[in-house]
Structure 1
Amino acid sequence: MEPTNSPFGDNWDVLWFGHCGLQFPSASLPGAGNIPRGRVVRYEDSTVPQRQYLETVSGVNSLKDEYLSHTRVAHHVSDGACSLSYAVTQAGARHLLYWLGLKEVTAPFDILLRQFCEGTGGKAYHNCLTVQPALFQHYRPAGNKTFESEITSHGNEFRKKPMTKMIRWSVRLNLEALMNGRTDFVDQFPDME
């Protein structure tokens, strides 16, 4: 169906494209009665690393377990964490301001966004869409891992090379090539035979 209001489609509140992992909607997760369980699957997506490179903060990785390498799946948000990148419609922004601005703030923003999307935590359900793996991820510079987060311990080891988890051709790592019109990009997760 052609969109009528937006080139990105109509009838959604949030597109959550940068996260630390989430799960496919299922009957066993919070908000199960609210969240549609449909999926759009794209196989042979060369921008997705092979399965052995995929990880998630929840420890559950259905994408890795259920699909072949180089598969990206779009679906409704369920059990999301980290708010690295998201888009909001004007109507969605109004609802976010109401539910997350005028109601009690009882958790970090990413958890409140999860509840907003799922219709849990006393919030109404909203139409939020996402993809796995995420399109945006944390960039990790070379240096001491202690400085990577102020809320979670990442250890105190020294990272020798900068990296971006699960992003095959990281923009940050390939910025010089992109600016100069080159295509000799660093592939952080090349296919293993």
Structure 2
Amino acid sequence: MAAMMTPGSPVRLVPGPRRRSSNLVILLLVIIALLWSLVFHQNIGRGLHVTLDDIRDPLDAIVNNTLGFEKIFAISPAQRLDRRDAVVLASSATGFHVDFIDGLILDEDSAKELNDSKDSETVSVSRPHANAVQRIVADGIASALILEDDVDWDINLKMQLKGLALGSQQIPKINAPERNATTDSPYGDSWDVLWIGHCGMKCNSSSPVQVMPHDITAMPSRYLPPYLYDAPAGTGNNVRMTCIIEKAACSAAYAITYGASQKILAALTRLTDADNLDFPDLLSELCDNGSLECYSSYPSLVGRWKRGRREEYSSDNDQEAVDRQMSHSSGVMYSTLGNIEHILGGECTVRASIDDAIVPELNPDLFEVPHSFLQWTDKKGGHERAL
């Protein structure tokens, strides 16, 4: 019942429930602002400045124009302008910058002058990789991604590398949970080598494994090119795994740190004239003997681009024979070079490289890092933890 008021009585305003709630909200916001201001000024007094870097996702560095490394190098003979064109085109479409290191094309006489005891093919393939390593050490480069010039990669490479970074950050913490990061690298501070382009790898038996059970960019095993090592246990269609590796084969793409480059260069200087070890074997050996801590992903993140051959065809040639001569990607689901016309044409979607892909057409803007978890075994048994 409303209160009775007589003329001359003082007016008494009683706030209703809604006004009281509004006042409480305002009071709460004021208290929060005061507390935040107090903490902020205390941090400044202690030299702990609050900046955008404090709230930025560390994985965001991977989307820069060097994919979170200091440099990206592509090894390519100066004569192979076609391959250089392809690397520049694909990297521009994906959003990163590549510098070239000259590869070698040796005739028999040149190879003989260089070293009579070494196979000319081994020299021409391996020496440019050694030159890239030498460049990293000479210039004091903190980390670099090294590509061969016939590679192709998924248009979603940056998101794939974010997924890899989650693994390379968290895997070493299983055995050393108190370990604190001491580097600005989005890939963590434990790695020496990130072997992202290979033709087979073998996980270290004691390594925790990062599993992405539903990665639509992981090429099913039946479509992969021949790998020199068996697939890790638990892999299957659209399953991706990351682990510390013992061995790997082929050097299509790998990232190395400055410290790793020094160790690789030291190993190269110890080779004798009788050694005929090619570069991927040397790098794999350093991973296997514990000199380097090496991480890799299965399937390989980087594949190959098979350039077509122009030939005259008679009417007797069937379509299958013609198709085999066309340029195509190998080991990559949403090929950058295979989709280059769609990308340059401004289309929103790209096409899968295989007919029975789970997602035949994909909008890369909608692709996110797939859910993943860690698996490992210790004296207490098997464990699993979501990332």
TM-score range, shorter chain: 0.7 to 0.9
**Partner residue of 1:168?**
333
Give the gaps of 5 or more residues in structure 2.
Answer: 1-168, 170-179, 311-320, 359-387
Find out whether 1:4 has 2:182 as its counterpart. yes
Does the 8 A contact of 2:308 with 2:325 survive in 1? yes
Greater CA drift, 9-18 or 66-75: 66-75
Aligned residues: 165
| Per-residue CA distance 1:71-91 (angstroms, 9 max, x = gap) | 110011233111011111111
1:24-39 aligned at under 5 Å gives the runs 24-26=203-205, 36-39=206-209
Q: Give the aligned residue type for 1:103.
A: R
Q: 2:227 corresponds to which residue?
A: 57
Conserved? CA contact 2:210–2:242, under 8 Å: yes
**Could you say which residue in structure 1 is the equivalent of 2:259?**
91
Secondary structure of residue in 2 paired with 1:23? strand
RMSD: 2.5
Question: Do the aligned residues in 2 keep the contact of 1:48 with 1:72 (CA within 8 Å)?
Answer: yes
Q: 1:49 to 1:190 in 2, by over 3 A?
A: farther
Write the deviation string for residues 22-66 of structure 1: whole angstroms up to 9, x where unpaired.
22334xxxxxxxxx4321111101111233223433262346xx3
Which of the pair is proportionally richer in helix? 2
Q: What per-residue deviation string (whole Å, max 9, x for no partner) do you get for residues 85-109 of structure 1?
A: 1111111111111112x11053110
The CA deviation at 1:190 is 3.7
TM-score calculated relative to the size of structure 1: 0.74
Does residue 182 of the first structure (1) align with residue 360 of the second (2)?
Answer: no
Please tell me whether the aligned partners of residues 11 and 127 of structure 1 are also in contact (alpha carbons under 8 angstroms). Answer: yes
- Per-residue deviation at 1:111? 0.6
Query: For the residues of structure 2 that align with 1:84 and 1:18, how far apart are their CA atoms?
Result: 5
With normalisation by structure 2, the TM-score equals: 0.39
Is the contact between residue 21 and residue 55 of structure 1 (CA under 8 Å) also seen in structure 2?
A: no
Q: Quickly say closer, same or farther: Cα 1:190–1:9, change in 2 above 3 A.
A: farther
Matched, 1:129 2:295: yes
Which residue of 85, 107, 110 corresponds with 2:280?
A: 110
Deviation above 6 Å: which 4+ runs of structure 1? Answer: none
* Identity level (%): 25
Letter in 1 for 2:187: F
CA distance in 2, matches of 1:180, 1:90: 39
Instruction: Report deviation, 1:187.
Output: 1.0
- Opposite residue 141 of structure 1, the aligned amino acid is R
**Distance in 1, Cα, partners of 2:240 & 2:282:** 25
One-letter amino acid of the structure 1 residue matched with residue 243 of structure 2: H
- The answer for the alignment partner of 2:196 in structure 1 is 17
Contact 2:196/2:302 (<8 A) preserved: yes
Moved more, 50-59 or 69-78: 50-59
Query: Gaps (5+ residues) in structure 1?
Result: 27-35, 145-156
Hey, what's the Cα distance between the residues in 2 that align with 1:52 and 1:13? 31
> Do the aligned residues in 2 keep the contact of 1:177 with 1:184 (CA within 8 Å)?
yes
In the TM superposition, residue 118 of structure 1 has moved relative to its aligned partner by 0.8
Choose 1 or 2 for highest CA Rg: 2
C-alpha distance in 2 between matches for 1:23 and 1:190 = 29
- Cα distance in 1 for partners of 2:297, 2:356 equals 21
